[in-house]
Chains A and B, each alone.
Chain A
Amino acid sequence: MASLGSFLLMATFIVFAYAIAASLAGARRGSRALVESAVGAFYLATALMVVASAVIVQLFVTDNYTVKYVQRYSDALQPMFYKITSYWGGLDGSIMFWVFLLSVFGSLAVYVNRERHRELIPYVVAIISGVQMFFLFLMIVHKNPFETFLVQAPQDGQGLNPLLQNIYMVIHPPSLYIGFVGMTIPYAFAMAALITGHTDDSWLRAVRRWTMVSWLFLSLGLTLGMIWAYEELGWGGYWGWDPVENAGLLPWFTATAFLHSVIVQERRGMLKVWNMTLVITTFFLTIFGTFMTRSGVVQSVHAFGEDRALAWMFTVFMVAILAFSFGWVVKRLPLLKPRYEMDSWLSREAAFVANNWILLIAAMLVLFGTMFPTMSEALTGNRLTVGPPFFNRWMAPLGLIVIALTGVAPLLAWRRSTMANLLDSFLWPVIFALAVSVGFVSLGVRVWSSGLCFALCAFVTATIVQEFHRGGMVRKEATGTDAVTATIGLVMRERRRYGGYIVHLGIVLMFLGFAGEGFKADEQILLKPGQQATVRHYTVRNDGVQVTDDGQKQMVTGHIAVFEDGKRLGTMYPARWFFRKHEQQPTTEVAIRRTVAEDLYLVMPAYELKDQSMSLQVVINPLVNWIWFGFGIMVLGTGIALLPERAFAFALGNVPAEESPS
Chain B
Amino acid sequence: MARKTGEEPNRSNRAATPPPERGVQATGEVAGLQPWHVLALATMVAMTAGAFFTTGTPIVNVVFVSVALATSALAAVGLYRTLMPLVMPDAGEQIEMVAGRTRAALEREKMLVLRSIKEVEFDRAMRKISDADYQEMVGRLRMRAAGLLRQLDGGGLGYRELIERDLATRIGPAVARAAVVVPPPAPAVSAGVCQACGVDNGADARFCGACGARVGETS
Contact = CB atoms under 8 A, between A and B. Distances in A.
Contacts of B133: 414-415
A494 B67 contact: no
Nearest to A31: B89
A474 B122 CA distance: 8
Contacts of B201: 657
Nearest to A33: B89
A115 B119 contact: no
A581 interface: no
A61 B60 contact: yes
A62 B61 CA distance: 9
A34 interface: yes
Interface in B109-142: 109, 112, 116, 118-119, 121-130, 133, 137
Contact of A37 (B83, B93, B119): B83
Given A48-B78, A654-B211, 7 more contacts: A33-B86, A47-B74, A48-B75, A54-B64, A58-B60, A657-B199, A658-B125
Interface range for A:
35 or more
B110 to A, nearest CB: 12
A424 interface: yes
Contacts of A471: 122, 126
Contact of B71 (A41, A54, A421): A54
A46 to B, nearest CB: 7
B82 A32 contact: no
Contacts of B60: 58, 61-62
A51 B71 contact: yes
A405 interface: no
Given A47-B75, A654-B210, A39 B122 contact: no
B24 interface: no
A296 B137 CA distance: 53
A150 B5 CA distance: 55
Interface stretch (B43-51, B100-108, B152-160): B100-108
A18 B78 CA distance: 13
A32 B67 CA distance: 33
B81 interface: yes
B78 A414 contact: no
Contacts of A655: 210
Contacts of A659: 125
A40 B84 contact: yes
Contacts of A51: 68, 71-72, 74-75
A44 B125 contact: no
Contacts of A117: 105
A503 to B, nearest CB: 18
A345 to B, nearest CB: 16
A4 to B, nearest CB: 10
B147 interface: no
27 contacts: A32-B89, A36-B93, A37-B84, A40-B79, A40-B81, A41-B81, A54-B64, A58-B60, A58-B64, A61-B60, A115-B103, A116-B104, A118-B95, A118-B101, A267-B119, A414-B123, A415-B133, A467-B126, A478-B125, A493-B122, A497-B119, A654-B210, A654-B211, A656-B210, A657-B210, A660-B124, A660-B127
A654 B211 CA distance: 8
A142 interface: no
A658 B81 CA distance: 49
B95 A44 contact: no
B82 A40 contact: yes
> When A and B form their complex, which 4 residue pairs have the shortest distance between CB atoms, in order from nearest?
A44-B78, A40-B81, A33-B89, A115-B104
Contacts of B200: 657
B129 A658 contact: no
B209 interface: yes
B188 to A, nearest CB: 22
B92 interface: yes
Contact of A202 (B67, B104, B109, B118): B109
B105 A118 contact: yes
Given A33-B89, A493-B118, A41 B78 contact: yes
B6 interface: no
Interface in A101-158: 114-118
Contacts of B81: 36-37, 39-41, 43-44
A389 interface: no
A413 interface: yes
Contacts of B116: 266-267
A384 to B, nearest CB: 49
Contact of A40 (B68, B85, B199): B85
Interface string B178-219: 000000000000000000000111000000011100000000
A470 interface: yes
A413 B118 CA distance: 16
Interface string A14-33: 01001000000000000011
A267 B112 CA distance: 11
B213 to A, nearest CB: 13
Given A51-B71, A51-B72, A415-B133, A40 B78 contact: yes
A47 B77 CA distance: 9
Interface in A574-615: none
